[in-house]
């Protein structure tokens, strides 16, 4: 290049750095007006503080996942009205802030998962999601049509690519943005939590940053929605693939990032890396808090047994809702040990909740007397055990009806998998906080919670687990050791491994066959169970859909 051209290039004024604000927040499904209010208020506030671009998560206007609400014309019409209100309100605002937010958008008779870019309250561009996930908990192909091109927005002379959630997992979408002139990429997300999700996100962003020499900004929502919980964990990596910023976990947060046309920087505090147990526990607390509050309940009631599962559930509930909104009930029978009564009372006292003891002996005897003519000559078996569990379920639901408090069930994933639970008994309730938590993880979470403050007596964590529905009962009378059981379930349920591969890990074949048979036989129970928080890659519920009636059995 000649000296004249060099001088001319140097004299061209480079665009000033842009201040980008990513708003990580809760956007409740179907609460369109309040979601719009949140977008307006956050955008105006950020504009007043000098932001050039304010970004909101995927489908922020309607929440995620809206599911079959998208089939209702009244729902889509409200989306249009509220989107217009956002545009009109921001157009009247003097701060000239650019805004990106996600919404379902109808165009030419087709519905898209879209991002809308406003500048001065005027719609400049739409970005349509190109990669529609149709696996696990996702079924976007049911509702949306896929876009087919990347979109570049101009923010004060800087060219920024827009992608939506799944798009960033595809290298071709990132490459297309780069080829279209993107100097940086923003991806808006509604990405549910599961164990180790953070490391997966960082890895894919860093891989793209290295390959395409672009900074990437990743915005996620937070909060619970039915079985799903969104962890936030919004991130940004620079051109060198270094993690520049990480938002809070499971909390609303606002991240300010400066982009100078080449790279990004941020003075936002970096969220510290927490242990797996700490993150999982926070996910469970968030899921319980939002499910109970968003469904209009004043609080919850929990049946305490003196065992580890109900102890963990009680701690989660108190941390989510406050002790004043949690009620515990111990319902002893003739088989309840004194230590169970003592430990349940200690748990309630340590957590400061209202605690009642309601014995089921009289109710149980009444059922037995009533059924005696029908059961004449038949030996006692699991029928009598299940009657006890159903007595307890009846009492808990009565308290729920009378006091307007939701019943939280206390069953874990290991029990749900093999049917070690009673329909209309201990499965009674509106929400199952630890439904996707295997038994071995239950103990780890209890240890973690006790490291914060002691709330679960040590004896609860060391005594052999028991349902206490007959004399000298122990879980391992009916089930393999939980460490073995949970490993089989991880390989079979979560990873779909064939029997031979599970056995190759050194697990007894007969034990593997026993567990898999139990899982297959108990689909009808799981289908009738309360929804629970998903924390693994495959939970029982929306992302594991097996028929109840089937002639198929894995041999």
Q: What is the pLDDT of residue 10?
A: 47
Same domain flag for 246 and 135: yes
pLDDT for the residue 11: 47
Residue 547 pLDDT greater than 90, yes or no: no
Residue of 19, 38, 58, 173 marked catalytic: 58
> 52 with 98: CB under 8 angstroms?
yes
For residue 7, being part of any structural domain is answered with no
Measure Cα distances from 289 to 258, 370, 400 in Å.
34, 41, 17
User: Catalytic annotation on 446?
Assistant: no
**Residues 312, 168 share a domain:** no
Specify if 527 maps to a domain.
no
pLDDT for 225 equals: 94
Mean pLDDT over 450-455 rounds to 95
Q: How confident is the model at residue 482 (pLDDT cuts 50, 70, 90)?
A: confident
Mean pLDDT of the chain: 91
pLDDT, tens only, 125-141:
999 999 999 888 888 99
Q: Maximum distance among all alpha carbons in the chain?
A: 108
End-to-end CA distance of the chain: 73
Question: Which residues have C-beta within 8 Å of that of residue 414, sequence separation ≥ 6?
Answer: 420, 438, 439, 440, 479, 482, 485, 486, 489
Alpha-carbon distance of 243 to 227, in angstroms, equals 30
Look at residue 77 and tell me whether its pLDDT is greater than 90.
yes
At 269 the pLDDT is: 85
Q: Residues with Cβ < 8 Å from 494, sequence gap 6 or more?
A: 536, 537, 538
Rounded Cα gap, residues 523 and 540, in angstroms: 9
| Model confidence pLDDT, tens digit, residues 188-225 | 999 999 999 999 999 999 999 999 999 999 999 999 99
Instruction: Residue 426: give its domain's CATH number.
Output: 3.40.50.620
Same domain assignment for residues 349 and 256: no
Q: Which two tokens stand for residue 279?
A: 């993150």
CA distance 231 to 193: 6
Q: Is residue 526 part of a domain?
A: no
Distance from C-alpha of 266 to C-alpha of 268, rounded to nearest angstrom: 5
d(CA 122, CA 127): 15
Average confidence (pLDDT) over 438-446:
95
The b/e string for 379-389 (b: 16+ C-beta within 10 A; e otherwise) is: eeeeebbbbbb
Please tell me whether residues 308 and 239 are part of one structural domain.
no
Q: Are residues 17 and 64 in contact, defined by beta-carbon separation less than 8 angstroms? A: no
Is the per-residue pLDDT at 554 higher than 60?
A: no
The answer on 257 and 199 residing in a single domain is yes
CB contact set of 282 (below 8 Å; sequence gap of 6+)? 249, 250, 274
Whether residue 440 is contained in a domain is answered as: yes
Pair 215, 311 in one domain:
no
b/e sequence 351-370, b meaning 16+ C-beta within 10 Å: bebebeebebeebbeebeee
**Residue among 121, 152, 305 at smallest CA distance from 214:** 152
CB 410 within 8 A of CB 317: no
- Per-residue pLDDT of 282-336, as tens digits, reads 999 999 999 999 999 989 999 998 899 999 999 999 999 999 999 999 999 888 8
Instruction: Say yes or no: 125 and 261 in one domain.
Output: yes
Same structural domain for residues 256 and 289? no
Instruction: Please check whether residue 426 is in contact with residue 409, taking contact to mean a CB–CB distance below 8 angstroms.
Output: yes
Domain assignment present for residue 286? The answer is yes
Instruction: Please say whether the beta carbons of 146 and 166 come within 8 A.
Output: no
Residue 240: CATH number of its domain: 3.60.110.10
Which one from 19, 38, 82, 129 is the annotated catalytic residue? 129
**How do residues 346-382 score in pLDDT, each as one tens digit?**
999 999 999 999 999 999 999 999 999 999 989 988 8
* Same domain, residue pair 318 and 459: yes
Q: How many domains does the chain have?
A: 2
* 3-state secondary structure (DSSP) of residue 393: helix
The active-site residue out of 165, 428, 438, 446 is 165
Evaluate whether residue 542 is within a structural domain: no
Task: Quote the domain boundaries for residue 127.
Answer: 15-266
Q: Write the pLDDT tens digit of every residue in 17-42.
A: 999 999 999 999 999 999 999 999 99
Task: Among 454, 476, 498, give the residue marking a domain's end.
Answer: 476
Q: What are phi and psi of 50, to 5 degrees?
A: 95, 10
> Which of 476, 509, 531 is where one domain is finished?
476
Domain closes at, from 266, 291, 323: 266
Q: Percent of the chain having pLDDT more than 70?
A: 95
Residue among 100, 82, 75, 101 nearest 36 (CA): 82
- Is residue 523 situated within a structural domain? no
Residue 164, beta-bridge partner list: 188
58 annotated active-site: yes
Q: Is residue 300 part of a domain?
A: yes
* C-beta of residue 18 within 8 angstroms of C-beta of residue 258: yes
Q: Any catalytic annotation for residue 474?
A: no
**240-278 pLDDT, tens digit each:** 999 999 999 999 999 999 999 889 989 888 888 889 999
Average pLDDT score over residue span 155-163: 93
* CB proximity list for 271: less than 8 A, separation 6 or greater: 233, 246, 247, 248, 249
Instruction: Assess whether 128 and 62 both reside in one domain.
Output: yes
426 and 319 within one domain = yes
pLDDT band at 538 (very low <50, low <70, confident <90, very high): confident
How high is the pLDDT of residue 480?
A: 84
DSSP 32-80: HHHHHHHHHHHHHHHHHTT-SEEE--TTTTT-S--GGGGG-HHHHHHHH
Q: Are residue 228 and residue 318 in the same domain, yes or no?
A: no
């Amino acid at each position: 290049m000649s000296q004249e051209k060099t001088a001319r290039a140097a004299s061209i004024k480079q665009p000033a750095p842009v201040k980008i604000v990513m708003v990580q927040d809760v956007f409740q499904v179907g609460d369109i007006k309040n979601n719009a209010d949140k977008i307006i208020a956050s955008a105006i506030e950020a504009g007043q503080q000098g932001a050039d671009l304010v970004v909101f998560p995927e489908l922020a206007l309607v929440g995620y996942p809206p599911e079959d609400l998208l089939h209702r014309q009244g729902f889509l019409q409200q989306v249009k009205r509220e989107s217009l209100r956002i545009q009109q309100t921001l157009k009247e605002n003097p701060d000239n802030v650019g805004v990106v937010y996600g919404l379902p958008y109808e165009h030419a008779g087709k519905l898209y998962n879209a991002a809308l870019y406003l500048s001065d309250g005027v719609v400049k561009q739409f970005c349509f999601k190109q990669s529609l996930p149709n696996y696990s908990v996702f079924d976007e192909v049911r509702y949306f049509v896929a876009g087919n091109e990347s979109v570049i927005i101009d923010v004060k002379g800087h060219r920024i690519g827009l992608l939506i959630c799944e798009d960033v997992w595809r290298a071709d979408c990132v490459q297309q943005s780069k080829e279209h002139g993107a100097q940086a990429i923003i991806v808006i997300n509604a990405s549910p939590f599961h164990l180790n999700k953070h490391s997966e996100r960082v890895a894919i962003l860093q891989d793209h940053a290295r390959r395409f020499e672009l900074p990437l900004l990743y915005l996620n929502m937070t909060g619970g929605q039915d079985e799903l919980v969104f962890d936030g964990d919004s991130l940004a990596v620079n051109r060198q693939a270094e993690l520049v910023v990480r938002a809070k976990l499971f909390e609303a947060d606002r991240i300010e990032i400066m982009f100078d046309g080449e790279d990004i920087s941020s003075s936002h505090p970096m969220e510290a890396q927490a242990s797996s147990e700490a993150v999982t526990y926070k996910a469970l607390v968030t899921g319980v808090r939002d499910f109970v509050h968003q469904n209009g309940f004043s609080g919850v009631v929990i049946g305490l047994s003196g065992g580890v599962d109900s102890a963990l559930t009680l701690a989660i509930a108190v941390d989510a809702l406050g002790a004043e909104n949690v009620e515990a009930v111990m319902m002893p029978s003739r088989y309840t040990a004194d230590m169970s009564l003592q430990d349940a009372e200690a748990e309630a006292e340590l957590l400061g909740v209202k605690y009642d003891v309601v014995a089921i002996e009289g109710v149980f005897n009444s059922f037995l007397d009533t059924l005696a003519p029908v059961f004449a000559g038949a030996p006692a078996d699991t029928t009598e055990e299940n009657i006890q569990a159903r007595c307890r379920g009846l009492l808990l639901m009565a308290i729920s009806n009378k006091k307007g408090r939701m019943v939280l069930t206390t069953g874990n994933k290991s029990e749900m998998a093999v049917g070690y639970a009673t329909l209309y008994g201990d499965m009674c309730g509106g929400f199952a906080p630890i439904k996707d938590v295997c038994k071995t993880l239950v103990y780890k979470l209890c240890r973690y919670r006790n490291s914060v403050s002691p709330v679960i007596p040590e004896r609860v964590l060391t005594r052999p687990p028991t349902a206490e529905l007959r004399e000298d009962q122990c879980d391992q009378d009916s089930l393999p050791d939980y460490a073995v059981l949970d490993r089989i379930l991880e390989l079979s349920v979560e990873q779909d491994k064939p029997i031979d591969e599970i056995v190759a890990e050194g697990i007894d074949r007969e034990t593997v066959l026993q567990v898999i048979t139990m899982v297959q036989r108990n689909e009808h129970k799981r289908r009738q169970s309360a929804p629970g928080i998903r924390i693994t890659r495959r939970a029982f519920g929306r992302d594991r859909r097996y028929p109840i009636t089937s002639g198929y059995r894995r041999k």
